[in-house]
């Protein structure tokens, strides 16, 4: 199939391009490079020995999408493009609502206009709010604590309504848990601008000596050791989940958790990183981070049942691969 990957030069998008190419699909990337570098797609070409067509466009721009869709016979869209910094979404909400919602609307419109029948959307476990764990797809969504999370919940509703009104249009809403790690070549990975918000890139930058020590946000949560628990998933497993969703997509809207089903605490991740890479990670415990919840992880059984997809890589691979990328980056 010809697959349009929006945000395809970003962290998850670039790994998904590799999985798509390896599965025999053709890939067209649309990215405005607001949070990625064009060189990433050269690495994708080097790793796969396959071509990727690239358009530097903003996917909120309907005219630019018209040009793209009229040049290519697109069979499916995977929509990664969007802003994702939770803290920034609180201080700049309109920037987040505009980019994340308008891109979804404009793309879904273009799909109707050009007869594209498959749409895969990057959602997030954040839409579950503070439901009881494990999070299951059948749960009612609860309000999130920030505009970023709201853009994911709203985009889910918009796509669900569009699929209802357009028989033949199929939508997969993929709720990611905590993507970490990198391609095992070490050539692509997560390269956040400025100070990392997320745990794993913070840990790898401490390992490299770019940052002095990790700040552990709270050790008084009701968890195994008091630190926050998350369901970390290797980005390559996550990428493969997109190919499985696309290959198995049928009419209507379908929601899938993409996680491992296992919870890991901050200190467990730090210990695993130290052991896997033989590097010490200095840390100090500081106050809880505003908006954090104690613990969440996936019930990942639906994706296994319906997509025949299951995360395979363990915490050791996540830590090794994340460090290999950071070391060479």
* Least distance to ligand UFG, CB of residue 114, Å: 31
Q: Which stretch binds ligand UFG (CB under 6 A): 24-32, 64-72, 73-81, 196-204?
A: 196-204
CA-based nearest residue to 88, from 149, 148, 7: 148
36 binds ligand NAD (CB under 6 A): yes
Contact by Cβ (8 Å): 163, 244: no
Selected from 29, 125, 235, 315, the binder of ligand UFG by CB under 6 A is 125
Q: Which stretch binds ligand UFG (CB under 6 A): 59-67, 88-96, 114-122, 193-201?
A: 193-201
Task: Decide: helix, strand or coil at residue 250.
Answer: coil
Of 83 and 221, nearer to ligand NAD (C-beta) is: 83
130 binds ligand UFG (CB under 6 A): no
First CA to last CA distance, the chain: 32
Annotated catalytic residue, options 148, 202, 221, 232: 148
Judged by beta carbon distances under 5 to 8 A according to partner kind, the member of ligand UFG, ligand NAD, none in contact with residue 2 is none
Tell me, residue by residue from 40 to 69, as one string, x for binding to ligand UFG by CB under 6 A and - for no binding.
------------------------------
DSSP3 helix / strand / coil % (the chain, rounded to 5): 40, 20, 40
Judged by beta carbon distances under 5 to 8 A according to partner kind, the member of ligand UFG, ligand NAD, none in contact with residue 202 is ligand UFG
Structure letter (DSSP) for residue 298: B
CB atoms within 10 A of CB 146: 19
Secondary structure, 3-state, 100-119: HHHHHHHHHHHHHHHCCCEE
148 is catalytic: yes
* Least distance to ligand UFG, CB of residue 244, Å: 19
Is 188 buried (19+), middle (13-18) or exposed (0-12) by CB count in 10 A? buried
DSSP string covering 46-93, please? HHHT---EEE---TT-HHHHHHHHHHS---EEEE--S---HHHHHHSH
The owner of tokens 């999130």 is 144
186 binds ligand NAD (CB under 6 A): no
Judged by beta carbon distances under 5 to 8 A according to partner kind, the member of ligand NAD, ligand UFG, none in contact with residue 197 is ligand UFG
Selected from 100, 124, 253, 260, the binder of ligand UFG by CB under 6 A is 124
197 binds ligand UFG (CB under 6 A): yes
The token pair at 53 is: 């067509």
155 binds ligand UFG (CB under 6 A): no
Q: Which stretch binds ligand UFG (CB under 6 A): 6-14, 109-117, 213-221, 307-315?
A: 213-221
260 binds ligand NAD (CB under 6 A): no
Distance CA 252, CA 164 (A): 7
Contact by Cβ (8 Å): 158, 171: no
Per CB under 6 A, residues contacting ligand NAD are 6-7, 9-13, 30-36, 58-60, 80-82, 84, 99, 103, 122, 124, 176, 179
């Amino acid at each position: 199939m010809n697959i349009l990957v929006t945000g395809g030069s970003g962290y998850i998008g670039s790994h998904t391009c590799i999985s798509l190419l390896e599965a025999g699909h053709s890939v067209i990337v649309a990215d405005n490079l607001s949070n990625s570098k064009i060189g990433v797609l050269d690495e994708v070409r080097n790793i796969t020995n396959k071509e990727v067509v690239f358009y530097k466009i903003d996917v909120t721009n309907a005219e630019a999408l018209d040009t793209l869709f009229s040049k290519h016979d697109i069979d499916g869209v995977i929509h990664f493009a969007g802003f994702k910094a939770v803290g920034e979404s609180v201080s700049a909400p309109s920037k987040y609502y505009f980019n994340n919602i308008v891109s979804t609307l404009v793309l879904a419109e273009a799909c109707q206009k050009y007869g594209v029948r498959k749409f895969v959307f990057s959602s997030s476990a954040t839409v579950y709010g503070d439901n009881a764990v494990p999070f299951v797809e059948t749960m009612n969504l609860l309000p999130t604590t920030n505009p970023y999370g709201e853009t994911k919940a709203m985009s889910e509703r918009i796509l669900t309504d569009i699929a209802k009104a357009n028989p033949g249009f199929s939508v997969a809403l993929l709720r990611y848990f905590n993507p970490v790690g990198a391609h095992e070549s070490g050539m692509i990975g997560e390269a956040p601008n400025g100070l990392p918000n997320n745990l794993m890139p913070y840990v790898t930058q401490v390992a490299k000596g770019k940052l002095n020590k990790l700040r552990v946000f709270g050790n008084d949560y009701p968890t195994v050791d008091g630190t926050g628990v998350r369901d970390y998933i290797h980005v390559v497993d996550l990428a493969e989940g997109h190919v499985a969703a696309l290959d198995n997509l049928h009419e209507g809207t379908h929601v899938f958790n993409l996680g491992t089903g296992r919870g890991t605490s901050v200190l467990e991740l730090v210990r695993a990183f130290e052991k896997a890479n033989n590097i010490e990670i200095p840390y100090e415990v500081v106050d809880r981070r505003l908006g954090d919840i104690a613990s969440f992880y996936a019930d990942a059984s639906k994706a296994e049942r319906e997509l025949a997809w299951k995360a395979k890589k363990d915490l050791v691979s996540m830590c090794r691969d994340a460090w290999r990328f950071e070391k060479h980056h």
